[in-house]
Amino acid sequence: MAYKNLDQEIFLQVQISNLYIRKRGITPKEFVKLDKECDVLEFLRDGYETFHLTGTQGILREVEEYIALEPS
């Protein structure tokens, strides 16, 4: 059962990362750099229990707000 939840968390991370990349017009390499600076993927993993009940656009807004709050 733990693997199923992990798969769903990873799917959410990939889905939202892809949306963010397309919306911002950045490359995957630039997203990786952003993740290293702001821990975006960890933010998504930590918030999975709440996020998986939210629509993708709502999650994307949460990620954008989170990134804006993170010191660069």
The residue that leads in pLDDT, 32 or 1, is 32
**How many Å apart are CA 58 and CA 68, to the nearest integer?**
15
Closest CA to 45 of 34, 57, 26, 59: 59
pLDDT in tens, 1-22: 466 688 999 999 999 999 999 9
Mark out the alpha helices in the chain (DSSP H runs).
2-24, 28-38, 40-46, 48-51, 56-69
Domain ranges of the chain: 21-72
The residue that leads in pLDDT, 52 or 29, is 29
Q: What pLDDT does 20 receive? A: 98
Q: What is the mean pLDDT of the chain?
A: 92
pTM of the model: 0.87
How many Å from the N-terminal Cα to the C-terminal Cα in the chain?
Answer: 37
Residues ≥6 apart with Cβ < 8 Å to 7: none
